[in-house]
């Protein structure tokens, strides 16, 4: 029964993490780069829980009761975490539309995760103690690690079941509470737990089942959703495998939010839809076929239909967005979605471009600024090259970014400059209509140059009989005045760092831009980190390893065990974050598959730790070398920039391999410390805490710093350099022992 309880603990921990993570992404506008902070807080709090329970797990006479109570606490924790994330803005008087910076993300995720992570971390040493009592103590820690990792696999796969999206997060959290409490009760009964604990568990289980039967989760969901959108009138919420949607109303205006970011406003959209629709189509002599990527409903399709178009292909990844917009009481949405010239494609934009051989006269990208990797993938060199291959003769690509009529901040200059540099690398001709917003128009045809004249654009505007609220002859002359905005165009054109899939400079610039508004000190810190090149990080890694080598030689005592545990935690977390972000860059669907990706890592960890535990440990140098080779393989894959179709197989393989090497190391290190059954909880807790400490550093650095500043490939290379230090320390200690006659040298 102890084995089942440990597996249930791993399952509940992973499911709790994913539930709170999805709510966190909504509160912070879907920014996946903050995933590292989120995971870092989880691991830090787990390490604290483990550290607090480490010594007590070996002293207590009732480890079963302690484990059961912590498992019940873990089952209750997701309800508290979800409620906290939804309520903090209303409680602190923060508008739902405010963009919060990195300090806020760190603090909110730490508070939301604390109940679950502390309970999960504290339960692990007690689980090791229980397992050691039932079996021989030497391999108990490795088997406990393997069981928790194996339980994490179904916990992550749970979120791939489509029917579960019909349930609210509070329904899922309540079911998780029932399962955790039932597991704890089963353990208490099987192991002869104290009668008082058994009665408590039985009462809590009955209460949890009764609350589900009385629809308490549904009422809590409705109340907390209204609290989350406290400064709006909430019309409805919905969830799909891709995102969380919310429709709010102010007066007669309806706004659809997708993962916390505004997606469409009806029936009175902003003027930016006219700018994006009319200028590109007026610059094309015969815009018969138009492709719209994202954000078509809400005015843009209506404005395009004013031109002599024959077909509009509208790509919107999430069908639920189209269904939700279609239900709004606004004639505009019905006109756009039901027009015979509009063909909707419920498919991700990049996938549509890869799958079709069609050619378009104009491609319009109507998406928010690349503040997330999901959005950034539509502003990179790789996307622009894909679009270039789908444009007809003299075809035009157009997109808009935040700008200003007078002056651009350094952050906006960096954002616009990185996208402009990517456009220049993909197209022969790029023109900018500077202002608010900045409109970028790119083409390989010479027709764009001939049409870039306010008189030509004005003539076409009149010839097509277009009546718009903003775009008229006067506005055309104003926006295309070469003298008025020349300084803004020049500032943007000076940017030379290309925004790429593997080096998301656009997302980092957006992060700096929003941080400048929410937390100027955080913005200054990001600016400082941006100045450090990849070579600087590699030099720091070399200095760290060199210092540890010197210390080990001077003290004549091995320090490689602690470094191996911490560096493996760092490597495992960096690889997890990097591969999750790589999946998002290639497929744009991490919201749905983050549980699967986590499950793949834990599947490898379960297999690796089970293998090592059966061997009673294993050769540490071999395990460390295997992990180093895995990192070097990952670096080669990322640096070679394989095709999208190849990436999926590589991500699956590398997730499992990294998890396997990380899991295999844990029982090896516990065995290396050589303690028996009486100290198994403390020893397992020490190694676990060191592993988590390294993982915290990896999580904090990977998403927010390394990936956006040095890129996916260089982030992996730095990790490989740090892991190489572990191999070097082991080899150096072997050399010292071989040439030393000191009787105090520990036996290996």
Could you identify the residue written with the tokens 């069609």?
358
Q: Do 130 and 215 belong together in one domain?
A: yes
Q: Which of 451, 483, 498 is the last residue of a domain?
A: 498
- The whole-number pLDDT of residue 745 equals 45
For residue 253, the cross-strand partners are 250
Whether residue 546 has pLDDT greater than 50: yes
The pLDDT assigned to 34 comes to: 80
Cα–Cα distance measured from residue 317 to residue 732, given in angstroms and rounded to the nearest whole number: 54
| 549 and 467 both lie in a single domain | no
Answer with the one of 498, 523, 541 that is the final residue of a domain: 498
Q: CA 396 to CA 416: how far, in whole Å?
A: 19
Task: Determine contact, residues 308/287, Cβ cutoff 8 Å.
Answer: yes
Model pLDDT for residues 262-309, shown as the tens digit of each residue: 888 888 777 889 999 999 999 999 999 999 998 888 889 999 999 999
The pLDDT, as a whole number, for residue 285 is 93
Pairing, β 289-293 against β 311-315? parallel
* pLDDT at position 426: 97
Angle 253-255-256 from CA coordinates, rounded to 5°: 155
Closest CA to 191 of 65, 11, 58: 65
Q: Does residue 516 lie in a domain region?
A: no
Q: Are residues 555 and 441 in the same domain?
A: no
| Whether the predicted pLDDT of 519 surpasses 80 | no
Pairing between β-strand 360-365 and β-strand 438-443 as defined by DSSP bridges: unpaired
Average pLDDT over residues 611-616: 75
The whole-angstrom separation of Cα 485 and Cα 462 is 25
What is the rounded CA–CA span in Å between residue 631 and residue 210?
49
Which strands, in side-by-side order, build the sheet including 289-293? Answer: 342-345, 311-315, 289-293, 360-365, 391-401, 438-443, 429-433
Per residue in 52-75, pLDDT (tens digit) is 887 777 778 888 889 999 999 999
Is residue 617 in some structural domain?
yes
Token readout for 87 is 């309520």
pLDDT in tens, 201-211: 899 999 989 98
Q: What is the pLDDT of residues 486-510, one digit of tens each?
A: 899 999 998 879 999 999 999 899 8
User: Is 584 found in the same domain as 639?
Assistant: yes
Domain of residue 296, residue span:
268-498
**Confidence class of residue 243 from pLDDT cuts 50, 70 and 90?**
confident
pLDDT of residue 134: 62
Residue 542 shares a structural domain with residue 482: no
The encoded tokens of residue 225 equal: 């959703």
Sheet holding 261-266, edge to edge: 233-239, 244-250, 253-258, 261-266
Tokens 């070469």 belong to which residue?
Answer: 482
The CATH number that applies at residue 548 is: 1.20.1250
Sequential DSSP letters for 211-270: HHHTTHHHHHHHHHHHHHTTTSEEEEEEE-SS-EEEEEEETTEEEEEETTEEEEEESS--
Whether the predicted pLDDT of 466 surpasses 50: yes
Contacts of 358 (CB under 8 A, 6+ apart): 289, 313, 390
Would you say residue 203 lies in a domain? yes
pTM: predicted TM-score of the whole model, two decimal places: 0.84
- pLDDT above 70 as % of the chain: 95
Q: How confident is the model at residue 680 (pLDDT cuts 50, 70, 90)?
A: low
Residue 743 has pLDDT above 60, yes or no: no
- Residue 163, pLDDT > 70, answer no
In a domain, 341, yes or no: yes
Q: Are strands 233-239 and 244-250 parallel, antiparallel or unpaired?
A: antiparallel
Name 600's Cβ contacts closer than 8 Å, sequence gap at least 6: 652, 655, 656, 659
Q: What integer is the mean pLDDT of 611-618?
A: 70
Rounded Cα distance between 391 and 400, Å, is 18
* Contact partners, residue 632, CB within 8 Å, separation at least 6: 720
Over residues 217-246, mean pLDDT: 90
Domain membership of residue 239 (yes or no) is: no
- Report d(CA 437, CA 275) in Å as an integer: 9
In a domain, 456, yes or no: yes
Do 432 and 479 belong to one domain? yes
Question: Do residues 470 and 609 both lie within one domain?
Answer: no
Contact (CB, 8 A) for 262 and 367? no
pLDDT tens-place string over residues 685-739:
677 778 878 888 888 888 888 998 999 999 999 999 999 999 999 898 888 777 6
**pLDDT bucket at 746, cuts 50 / 70 / 90:** very low
Is residue 20 located within the same domain as residue 153? yes
Residue 340 is predicted with a pLDDT of 93
- The 3-class SS string of 534-547 reads HHHHHHHHHHHHHH
Task: Tell whether 557 and 449 lie within a shared domain.
Answer: no
Q: What is the predicted pLDDT for the residue at 135? A: 59
In a domain, 747, yes or no: no
Q: Report the interhelical angle of 560-587 vs 644-673 (nearest 10°).
A: 160
Q: List the one residue out of 40, 32, 105, 27 whose CA is nearest residue 522.
A: 105
pLDDT at 284: 95
Residue 748 has pLDDT above 50, yes or no: no
Same domain, 146 and 75: yes
- Residue 50 or 723, more confident: 723
User: How many domains does the chain fold into?
Assistant: 2
Give percent of the chain with pLDDT exceeding 90. 41
- As a whole number, mean pLDDT of residues 475-489 equals 89
If pLDDT is split at 50, 70 and 90, which confidence band does 433 have?
A: very high
544/487 same-domain check: no
Mean pLDDT of the residues in the chain: 87
Residues 430, 570: one domain?
Answer: no
Q: Distance between CA 42 and CA 417 in Å, rounded? A: 36
Report the CATH number that the domain containing residue 491 is assigned in CATH.
3.40.50.150
Is residue 52 in a domain?
Answer: yes
Q: Which of 473, 498, 523 is the last residue of a domain?
A: 498
pLDDT tens for each residue of 132-152:
776 555 567 777 878 888 888
* CB-based contact 565:695 (threshold 8 Å): no
């Amino acid at each position: 029964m102890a084995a089942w309880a440990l597996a249930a603990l791993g399952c509940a921990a992973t499911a709790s993490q994913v539930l709170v993570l999805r709510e966190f992404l909504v509160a912070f506008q879907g920014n996946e780069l903050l995933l590292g902070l989120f995971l870092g807080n989880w691991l830090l709090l787990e390490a604290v829980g483990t550290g607090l329970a480490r010594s007590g797990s070996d002293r207590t006479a009732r480890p079963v009761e302690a484990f059961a109570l912590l498992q019940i606490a873990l089952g209750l924790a997701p309800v508290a975490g979800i409620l906290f994330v939804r309520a903090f803005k209303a409680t602190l008087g923060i508008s739902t539309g405010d963009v919060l910076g990195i300090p806020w993300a760190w603090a909110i995720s730490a508070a939301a995760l604390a109940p679950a992570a502390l309970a999960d971390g504290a339960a692990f040493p007690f689980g090791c103690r229980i397992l050691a009592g039932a079996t021989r103590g030497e391999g108990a820690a490795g088997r406990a690690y393997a069981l928790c990792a194996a339980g994490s696999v179904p916990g992550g796969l749970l979120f791939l079941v489509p029917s579960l999206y019909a349930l609210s997060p509070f329904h899922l959290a309540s079911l998780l509470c029932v399962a955790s409490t039932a597991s704890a009760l089963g353990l208490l009964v099987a192991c002869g737990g104290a009668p008082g604990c058994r009665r408590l568990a039985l009462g809590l289980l009955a209460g949890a089942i009764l609350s589900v039967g009385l629809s308490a989760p549904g009422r809590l969901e409705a109340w907390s959703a209204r609290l989350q959108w406290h400064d709006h009138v909430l019309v409805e919420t919905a969830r799909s495998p891709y995102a969380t949607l919310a429709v709010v109303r102010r007066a007669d205006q309806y706004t659809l939010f997708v993962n916390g970011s505004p997606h469409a406003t009806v029936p009175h959209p902003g003027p930016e839809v006219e700018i994006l629709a009319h200028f590109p189509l007026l610059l094309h002599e015969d815009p018969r076929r138009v492709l719209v990527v994202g954000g078509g409903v809400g005015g843009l399709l209506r404005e395009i239909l004013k031109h002599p178009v024959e077909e509009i292909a509208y790509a919107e990844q999430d069908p639920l967005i189209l269904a939700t917009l279609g239900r709004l009481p606004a004639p505009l949405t019905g006109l756009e979605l039901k027009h015979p010239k509009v063909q909707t494609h419920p498919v991700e934009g990049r996938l549509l471009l890869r799958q079709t051989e069609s050619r378009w006269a104009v491609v319009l990208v109507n998406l928010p600024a690349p503040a997330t990797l999901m959005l950034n993938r539509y502003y990179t060199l790789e996307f622009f090259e894909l679009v270039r291959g789908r444009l007809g003769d003299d075809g035009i690509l157009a997109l808009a970014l935040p700008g200003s009529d007078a002056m651009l901040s350094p952050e906006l200059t960096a954002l616009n400059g990185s996208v402009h540099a990517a456009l220049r690398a993909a197209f022969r001709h790029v023109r900018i209509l500077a202002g608010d917003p900045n409109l970028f128009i790119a083409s390989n045809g010479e027709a764009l140059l001939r049409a870039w004249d306010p008189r030509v654009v004005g003539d076409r505007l009149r010839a097509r009989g277009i009546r718009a609220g903003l775009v008229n002859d006067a506005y055309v002359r104003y926006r295309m005045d070469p003298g008025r905005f020349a300084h803004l165009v020049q500032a943007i054109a000076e940017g030379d760092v290309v925004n790429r899939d593997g080096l998301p400079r656009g997302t980092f610039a957006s992060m700096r831009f929003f941080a400048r508004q929410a937390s100027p000190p955080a913005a200054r810190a990001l600016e400082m980190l941006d100045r450090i090149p990849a070579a600087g990080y590699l030099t720091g890694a070399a200095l760290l390893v060199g210092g540890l080598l010197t210390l080990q030689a001077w003290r004549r005592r091995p320090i490689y065990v602690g470094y191996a545990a911490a560096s493996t935690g760092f490597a495992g977390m960096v690889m997890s974050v990097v591969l999750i972000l790589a999946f998002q860059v290639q497929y744009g669907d991490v919201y749905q598959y983050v549980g699967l990706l986590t499950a793949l890592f834990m599947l490898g960890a379960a297999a690796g730790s089970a293998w090592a535990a059966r061997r009673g440990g294993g050769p540490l140098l071999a395990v460390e070398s295997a992990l180093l080779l895995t990192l070097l393989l990952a670096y080669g894959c990322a640096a070679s920039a394989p095709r999208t179709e190849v990436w999926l197989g590589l991500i699956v393989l590398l997730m499992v391999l990294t998890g396997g090497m990380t899991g295999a190391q844990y029982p090896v290190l516990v065995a290396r410390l050589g303690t028996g059954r009486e100290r198994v909880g403390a020893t397992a807790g020490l190694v676990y805490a060191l592993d988590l400490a390294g993982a915290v550093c990896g999580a904090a650095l990977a998403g927010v710093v390394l990936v956006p500043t040095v890129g996916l490939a260089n982030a992996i290379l730095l990790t490989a350099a740090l892991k190489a230090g572990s191999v070097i320390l082991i080899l150096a200690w072997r050399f010292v022992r071989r040439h030393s006659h000191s009787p105090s040298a520990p036996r290996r």
